Structure 1
Amino acid sequence: MCLRWLLDNMMTQCSDKLLREVSLDLMKEVIASSELLVQERFGEHPFRGDRAGQSLRASVQQLRFAYIICDPTSARVIHQDALIPAAWLCPVYKECFLGPLRAKQTRELWPVDVYVSEPQGKSMRCGVQLHKQKQCSWPWEGFSFSWDLVVCYANQHIIFWYSAPNKSYSLGGSGKRKRGPGGPLTKKPRRKRAQDRSGSVEALFLRGEQSDVRIRALGEEWNVHRVYLCQSRYFASMFRGAWRETNMDTIELQMPDENIDREALHEAFGALYRGSIFIPPGRVVAILATASMLQLDELIRQCGEVMKVTVRAQTVCSYDYSAESYRLQTVRTMCLRWLLDNMMTQCSDKLLREVSLDLMKEVIASSELLVMGVEMDVYTMLKKWMFLQLQPTWRGPRRALLPDTDSWFARSRRDSEGTPFVETEQGRAFVPVFQQLRFAYIICDPTSARIIHQDALIPAAWLCPVYKECFLGPLRATTRELWPVDVYVSEPQGKSMRCGVQLHKQKHCSWPWEGFSFSWDLVVCYANQHIIFWYSAPNKSYSLGVSLLEQRKFAFRLRLSSLDRDGRAVFRKDTGYQRLSLREDQELEVMNLENQYVVFPIHVACNFLYLH
């Protein structure tokens, strides 16, 4: 009877005297019970009594946090009070966010069965006090499945009423897209060949006739002429300054750059006599290194031109590192552009071995990355890249790379006793790269979230705030809070959803793109050289979620590109970031390709930012 009294009166007669007298064990029993008569609208608020001491831990653990964090204000109070460890809330946010997605995709119900009694500690507790005999009604909202239950009291009857969907919110999911092969053949650019200006060049340079200085380097000697060498700022400074080599007949050169070899040095000296030389792509890095040391501006320019027209999978990484070392910014920009266009479609094991940590971080962080699929495909590619960086001797067919990667990390996980890989000694170097992933667009899919958990590459501490934001974001949207507040020319860093698809032929087709947590199901149609967005209604076959809002506002950026056999763009079109508002079943043309020569296959990529 005493326990029954406390269950009936603890929330309404909780005077300071009563709260002082309730022991820890008794409070634990009261809070754990589903019989507790809760008279708060959001009934799981913590008690306002003595909050200090580890001895209160067992009682506080009986709270049903899933029904506290569902309200943004209550969640903020929990955070500000700092009574509860974050580790307690992380699995709650995760389950609250993923639970609706599992129910949506697999129709699994939770709890599975309800008999005479409930599953221990699972039910939501809430209540209200009626003071007079009069008609009234009040809502009780579910925490993550978006059921809004209105309760009515009228004429001594209590009625439950399930409110209309457009008064609530829901959580959505994402899907994966297949990736296709590379682009069509295109004509290769012509290489520039230089011709000898006269037969005297042969005599002066190759035979060294009338030479007035000898250059010795890398075990080789060249009989050359000061008047030609002075075209180089390196030699001009040497011969005209107060240096000991100024009047020497034989000059010993020390090579500070390991990229310089005898052949490259010979070509650089020849360029002083011929004006320009033929530079094959396989030799351009060595010649650029030599030209940079000798300060041959024209030869540096020629090397840059050759690199620009020969960027491909076999050269992109070496060109990028050389362009950075020798300050060819335009070449480096082109290399980064190539990687952003091709990293997701031409990620061979050879290319993945060559991409450095800093370069991969820059690629993954960029919203320009051409994602053919969804963000989970970026994670999978990074996992294979990390494996090849750690095991560069791996050889095998392409289809075996992912299974071998998973097996290797599984062994590492067992050896480290479950420590997340990026927190191990081997994995710490990869932390800055994996931090560039947009986890909000990975965990929205239960299958992807399960893979992330099973791989154990990522610490749970990284994902806790993501689950929290993905769960609370829709709740804020119901109060008309906007995110992001403003979209200007560019997006907030790393905020947009990246997705894409490849169209192989000129034919009518359509596909869905689903929002990550606001359940907007956007159908994209390509027909007659037009691309159309269509916001599907909940009862349409394309809708994978429960899209409850009548109108969706978002910013998008649609990009089309066609790539040639070497991965260079032969066609691009970009809408830039635009704001868009769509109602149910509304269609809107976002791109018109009429009177434009489009080479198939084309890559259709989009960045989305949800506004409310």
Structure 2
Amino acid sequence: KIGKVKVNYYKIEVGVCVCCKNINKAVRELEKLQTRQDGEIKGENTIKAIAMGALYSRVQNPLDITRLIGRKRKRSDSDDSDELAKLDASMKSPKKKKLMTTAQYIYQALFMEEKSSDITVRALGKLWRLHKVYLCQSPYFSSMFGGSWKETNKDFINIEIIDPKITTDSLYIVFGSLYLDEITLDPRDITSILATAALFQLDGLIERCAEVMMESINAETAVVYHEAACQYGVKNVKKATFEWLLVNLLSFYTKHWRWLRLISVDLMEELISNPDLFVMQTEFSVYILLRFWMFYHLHPEIETVDKSECAINPVNYFTERKDEVPFIETNCGRYYKRPFMALRMPHLLSHYRDIEVLLKDNILPKSWFFGPLLSQWSSMLSIDESLDKGPSACDEKLFYSSCMRCGRTLQEEGFQKWRWTGFNFGLDLVLITDVRMLTIKRHHRTEHERLLSMQVKRNFLIRVTVASLNELRQIKHKQTTGIKDLSLDKNQELPLMYLDPKLQYPLLISVNLLIVTPNGPMEEKLKDFDKLATTTEAEIKILQQIKLNSAPTNSSCVESPPPPSEAIRSSSARPILESV
């Protein structure tokens, strides 16, 4: 639109076109009118003005026009050339727009719509119309179609699948992956997909499954993933899940008892016997864990903690038995014998109340205690007569098989000091954390000298491992001292490690400690104990049948079983971990 400028001595009205950038013409006309000598200017001067920017409706003084709208810079040739260059560049640069890829087209046309199929596969009662050229990516089908097999020239094959983990859904995903260059894997179905990929020997898909499993290890999946990794030979997943269980078995499963029944006898035996197990509190906590683990295996019907629905108390279940035969020797208990054999018996007998609980439970035969008690008595006498000043050097294998395992959780940073209770052959060791340092002190209190070793120096071996976990309780960072050979005077304090800044609270601390010189591997020292605990192959066959019907008949529910963490506290009145 073209606006009109009405110039009057008293009033100027300006109409502006927003499409034009040149307003100077209007300004020049106004300046000419202002220089006239007449007191009053008559007439109208119509100015065709083109402007860009603001719209002015009324201005009282014609001199204010220039102040308000300013002077427009003359357009230079360089500005035009820059715009032309940008325009030219935008026209020359290619634009990428994603269309349906070849893989997507192949998947849609050949797999989903089954076009040009040259082979029909029947599996789990379902027909799959596929293509040999794509199936031959699998060594399973490649050898079938390329060898001297009866299926080589056929257009129909039947696959008998006996693995219960393989489902029609997993077959759909695996067959479909042969037509694609990428795949979406759901952790909830990953074990079925892994089983199917292992059947057809698809190494690439197995690796992708392993990556997903490694990223999603948690309390719900750890045992399931470990069993699948063992069955299908995925070594990295097997190692990762086993390490997860070593760290969390005592720190997590004692608070979430329902997951215990997922752990098999073989896996539990392997975990209990491992020296890297993060034992929270002392070795006696391992026995308490096994007691609950066996109880919940015996009572698979317990699925709730509601007191109105369930009533078998795992704490009193074994003590209230009237049978004098140790439970582990009964038909129901013999199946669970091997994990209890892996217990480090000498370290279960270092406190009177612990022995009292063992005798009341009547789970283990009393004959299992004789060898360890004799070994402990012999060690105590040799230390009292200064014949044994503690281990100064030890074979690594012997250390890991004989050491005591203990630990605790540090919830927050700051000065903390603690010891593990129980008889430690006159050596009172206190661990201290202050800011980012962990130290150990031989505490020698004069008021208790009769219970402490009077030797000036005491030797011992120790290994400390500190770990911090992420939200899935996977190890985020771990630091260890290795096996340290230490010698402490009375009340002497030595640093154990400087905590890495990457360690974040809460911290899990695991300690392997050997304070007496071992005479030999624990298995050799307790031969009589091992003979009593050995299960023959014939017994194992019987036990496998017993396991199917192992739930006791007296399973009437009156009261809810407490969580194992509470039962551990109530099973023994003594404090296992003592703050100093």
Of the three residues 492, 499, 506, the one matched with 2:413 is 506
Query: TM (normalized to structure 1)?
Result: 0.64
Which residue number corresponds to residue 283 of structure 1?
Answer: 189
Q: 1:476 to 1:204 in 2, by over 3 A?
A: same
Which residue number corresponds to residue 510 of structure 2?
Answer: 605
Question: For residues 560 and 455 of structure 1, what CA distance do their matches in structure 2 show?
Answer: 34
Check if 1:519 corresponds to 2:457. no
Q: 1:603 to 1:493 in 2, by over 3 A?
A: closer
Tell me by how many angstroms 1:282 deviates.
1.0
Residue ranges of structure 2 left out of the alignment (5+ in a row)? 1-100, 518-580
Q: 1:406 to 1:593 in 2, by over 3 A?
A: closer
Tell me by how many angstroms 1:373 deviates.
0.6
Query: TM (normalized to structure 2)?
Result: 0.68
Tell me by how many angstroms 1:198 deviates.
3.4
Tell me by how many angstroms 1:279 deviates.
1.2
Question: For residues 347 and 156 of structure 2, what CA distance do their matches in structure 1 show?
Answer: 65
Question: For residues 431 and 252 of structure 2, what CA distance do their matches in structure 1 show?
Answer: 25
- 1:17-166 superposed matches below 5 A: none
Q: 1:353 to 1:544 in 2, by over 3 A?
A: farther
Tell me by how many angstroms 1:481 deviates.
4.5
Which residue number corresponds to residue 487 of structure 1?
Answer: 394
- SS of residue in 2 equivalent to 1:607: strand
- SS of residue in 1 equivalent to 2:414: coil
CA contact (8 A) 2:438 2:496 kept: yes
Question: For residues 547 and 479 of structure 1, what CA distance do their matches in structure 2 show?
Answer: 9
Q: Deviations over 1:42-73 (max 9, x none)?
A: xxxxxxxxxxxxxxxxxxxxxxxxxxxxxxxx
Number of aligned positions between the proteins: 413
Question: For residues 503 and 346 of structure 1, what CA distance do their matches in structure 2 show?
Answer: 15
Check if 1:406 corresponds to 2:354. no
- 1:265-304 superposed matches below 5 A: 265-304=171-210
- SS of residue in 2 equivalent to 1:426: coil
CA contact (8 A) 1:213 1:250 kept: yes
Tell me by how many angstroms 1:399 deviates.
11
Q: 1:469 to 1:370 in 2, by over 3 A?
A: same
- 1:167-316 superposed matches below 5 A: 197-316=103-222
- 1:308-347 superposed matches below 5 A: 308-347=214-253
Question: For residues 503 and 242 of structure 1, what CA distance do their matches in structure 2 show?
Answer: 65
Question: For residues 252 and 441 of structure 2, what CA distance do their matches in structure 1 show?
Answer: 31
CA contact (8 A) 1:474 1:517 kept: no
CA contact (8 A) 2:139 2:202 kept: yes
Larger RCO, structures 1/2 (Cα 8 Å, 6+ apart): 1
Check if 1:474 corresponds to 2:380. yes
Q: 1:531 to 1:479 in 2, by over 3 A?
A: closer
Give identity over the alignment, percent: 31
Tell me by how many angstroms 1:332 deviates.
0.8
Question: For residues 403 and 589 of structure 1, what CA distance do their matches in structure 2 show?
Answer: 48
Q: Deviations over 1:498-557 (max 9, x none)?
A: 11111111111111235744121111110021011110113379x994232221101100
Check if 1:558 corresponds to 2:464. yes
CA contact (8 A) 2:416 2:432 kept: yes
Of the three residues 350, 353, 356, the one matched with 2:258 is 350
Code of the aligned partner of 1:406: V
- SS of residue in 2 equivalent to 1:410: coil
C-alpha RMSD over aligned residues:
2.3
Q: 1:485 to 1:523 in 2, by over 3 A?
A: closer
Question: For residues 112 and 460 of structure 2, what CA distance do their matches in structure 1 show?
Answer: 67
- 1:372-387 superposed matches below 5 A: 372-387=280-295
Tell me by how many angstroms 1:486 deviates.
4.0
CA contact (8 A) 2:389 2:459 kept: no
Code of the aligned partner of 1:467: L
Q: 1:492 to 1:427 in 2, by over 3 A?
A: same
Code of the aligned partner of 1:337: E
Question: For residues 444 and 534 of structure 1, what CA distance do their matches in structure 2 show?
Answer: 21
Q: Which has the larger radius of gyration?
A: 2
Which residue number corresponds to residue 357 of structure 2?
Answer: 451
CA contact (8 A) 1:538 1:547 kept: no
